[in-house]
Chain A
Amino acid sequence: MENSASYKIYFVNDSAAAIDFGNVIDKDINAKAIALFNYLTQHPIEGMIEAIPAYSSVSVHFDIPALRKRIPSHKKAYEWIQNKLNQVMLNEFTGLETIPDLVRIPVCYDDEFAIDLPWIAAQKNLTREEVVHLHTSRQYRVYMLGFLPGFSYMGEVDEKIIVRRKPEPQQILAGSVGIAGKQTGIYPLNSPGGWQIIGRTPLKMFNKDNIEPCLLKAGDAVEFYSITSEEFDYIQKNSPLLQERVRGEV
C-alpha cells in the first residue's frame, strides 16, 4: 500500500500518541490504519506497550519510565516518540493489510429479540421483512473492535435503514444486533447501550477461555442470515461457538 495519505500525530495522554488519518469512515483509510497496526505489532518500537487501531487512526502506548532509561538523558520521551512515529510512517506498509475472513452470522429477527425493529420499520416506511432483507443482503466490513470486549463496529448499512441512536442507553442483552447511524454491530455481553436493536445471534461473540477470545477481528467481512427462533434455540444450546468462517475468502 502506498503511504500517500496525510496523517497527523498527537498525544492521547502523557504515555500514548495517535497517528490519525482523518475523522472519516472509509474502507481504504481503515485498511491503512490496520496495516500500520500490523506493522507496529510485528516491529514494536522501544518502550511500546501496545498499539490499538480505530476507524481511521492507530494509537501507540508506551512505558515512559522504561523508555526514558533507553533514550539519551537530555531527551524527553514525547519528543523521541514523535520522531520515531514519523520515521515509522516513512515505511510503505505493503502486504501488511489484514487478510479478511468472511464470517457468516445467524440472527433471529423475531419480535422477542428485535425490540426496536417495529420502530425502525415505522420510521422508515418499510415492512419488518424489508428491514431484515436490507440488513441481510450485503457484506459488512469490521472497521474496529472497541467499547466492550469483542464489540464490532461494522459498516455500512443500506441508507434506507440508517437510524439514530436512542436518546438514553438501555440495558441490552448479549448477542443483540443493533444499528446506529450507518453502523451495525453485535453486543458481545450484557451492557447498557444506545443502538437500535433489530435481532439477536445465538453465537458467543466473546469467549474468555478461547486463545482468540473474540469471534471477529478488525478487517473481517461479515454477512448476516436470518434464522427462526427454533434454530436460535438449537444453536444456542448445541453450538454457540459455531463458526462459519471462510479464511481469506472475500
Chain B
Amino acid sequence: MSLKIIKAGVLDTIQDPGRYGFQYLGINPGGAMDRFAAQVVNILTGNESSEPVIELHFPSSIFLFEQETMIAVGGADFSATIDGEDIPLWQPVIIAKNSILQFEKWKKGARCYLAIKEKLDIPKWLGSYSTNVKAASGGFNGRALQKNDTISFKEKNDYKCFLRDKDFVILPWKADILWKETPIDRIAIVPGNEWELLTKESRKKIFKDFFVIGSLADRMGYRLQGTLTAKPNCELVSSIVSFGTIQLLPNGELIILMADHQTAGGYPRIAYVASAHLPLLAQKQPGDKIQFRFTDQEHAEELLFLQHQHLLQLQNACKFRLEEFFQ
C-alpha cells in the first residue's frame, strides 16, 4: 500500500503513451492526452518517459502517500500542494510518508500529470497501462480512480537524509516549459485526404476564423463551433481516423478527435493537427478559442522531430542531475 485516494476527482485515470497494435480489433490507443507533459514529468523523476502517470482533471483527487516518494507534477496548473504548502510544476519533489497531495484551485489548462518515481504497480492490458474506460480495461481496474483505492508501488526508496523531518523537499532542477501566454493558440494543421470536399470559401475561412471549443469536449474529441461547409454528396465508407484527425460534420461543425477517438469514422477528414501541437490542444477546454495555421507534412514531421529531440536533451540533463544529487 503506497498511494491512497482519500477523495475522488472528476476523472483521474492512469495513462501511458497508448495501446498500439490492436486497432484492427477496434481497440483504440487511448493514452495521455498531453503526451508531452506526461513524458516531461516522468523524465524529471528519472523514469522512462513511457512510464504510466496519473492524468488529472479538475477537481482532482486528493492523494495520501503511505511511503516516502519522489513525484513530479506538470501540465495544467491546478495549484498543487503538499500538506497545504504550494509545490511547483515541472520540478521533482521528494515527499515524506503520510503526506497529502491535493489540487486546490484551477489556474490554467485542462489536464495535469502526476509522475511517481517509485512506479505504479498495476498490470498491463494488451501491452499498455492506459485506462480504457469504455472497455472497462487497463489502468487501475479499468476505471477512473475512486475514493479508498490504494495503488502499490514497485519500488521503495529511503529519502530520510534528504527530508530531515521536513514534509517535502523540492529538488533543484526543473524543465523549462514555455507556456506561451498568448490569448489564442494557433494550431498547425495539414490538409487531409478529403480537404477538397470543403467549399473553396471554407478552405480560406478555416485559416481566418476563430474557433470556440464547444461544450462537447472530452478525451474522445472536441467539437468546434463553426460554419464551414462541404460540397454536397460526400458520404464516405468508414475509414481510419486518428488522434488529431479533424472531421467535418454535416451541420458545419468541426470535430477534432482526441486520445480516446474511435478507430474508424465516416465523416470527411478535412485536415489533421500536427502531432507536436496536440499537447497544446490537450490543455484546452470548453470556451477556449483557437485558430488554425497551415502547415504541410514536411514541417509537421520536423516539429514532431524537434519535440522529440528536446525531450531527449531533457532526459540526459535530468539523468545527470539525479546521479549528481544521489551520489
Q: Once the chains bind, are B240 and A18 in contact (CB under 8 Å)?
A: yes
The bracket for how many chain B residues form the interface is 35 or more
Instruction: Select which of A15, A18, A51 is within 8 A of B239 by beta carbon.
Output: A18
A94 to chain B, nearest CB (A): 21
Q: How far is the CA of A126 from the CA of B25 in the complex (A)?
A: 35
Q: How far is the CB of B273 from chain A (nearest CB, A)?
A: 8
A12 contacts which chain B residues (CB < 8 A)? 192-193, 240-242, 245, 269, 272
User: Contact at A18–B193, with CB atoms within 8 Å?
Assistant: yes
In the complex, A31→B136 CA distance in Å? 32
Tell me which residues from 10 to 24 in chain A have a Cβ below 8 Å from any Cβ of chain B: 10-16, 18, 20, 23-24
Q: Is B304 an interface residue (CB 8 A)?
A: yes
Q: Is the CB of A54 within 8 A of B25?
A: no
Given the known A-B contacts A11-B297, A18-B240, A54-B238, are A149 and B26 also in contact in the complex, defined by CB atoms under 8 Å? yes
A18 to B237, CA, bound (A): 14
Kindly identify, within residues 241 to 263 of chain B, every residue whose CB is under 8 Å from any CB belonging to chain A.
241-245, 262-263
Q: Determine if B190 and A54 form an interchain contact, defined as CB atoms under 8 angstroms apart.
A: no
Interface size on A, residues (CB 8 A): 47
Q: Are the C-beta atoms of B238 and A55 separated by less than 8 Å?
A: yes
Query: Which of B23, B190, B239, B244 contacts A50 (CB under 8 A)?
Result: B23
Count CB-based A-B contacts (< 8 Å).
136
Query: B237–A25 contact, CB under 8 A?
Result: yes
Give the distance in Å from the alpha carbon of A92 to the alpha carbon of B287 in the complex: 52
Distance of A88 from chain B, by nearest CB (Å): 17
Residue B298 is within 8 A (CB to CB) of chain A in the complex: yes
Q: Judge whether B125 is part of the interface by a CB distance below 8 angstroms.
A: yes
Asked if A54 and B20 sit within 8 Å, CB to CB, the answer is no
Contacts A12-B242, A13-B272, A15-B275 given; does A52 touch B263 at CB 8 Å: yes
Contacts of B274 in A (CB 8 A): 14
Instruction: Annotate A1-40 by CB proximity to B: 1 below 8 A, 0 otherwise.
Output: 0000000001111111010100111000000000001000
* Contact across chains for B239 and A57 when beta carbons are under 8 A apart: yes
B-to-A contact residues, CB < 8 Å: 20-27, 125-126, 132, 134-137, 142, 190, 192-193, 236-245, 262-264, 269, 272-275, 297-298, 300-301, 304-305, 308
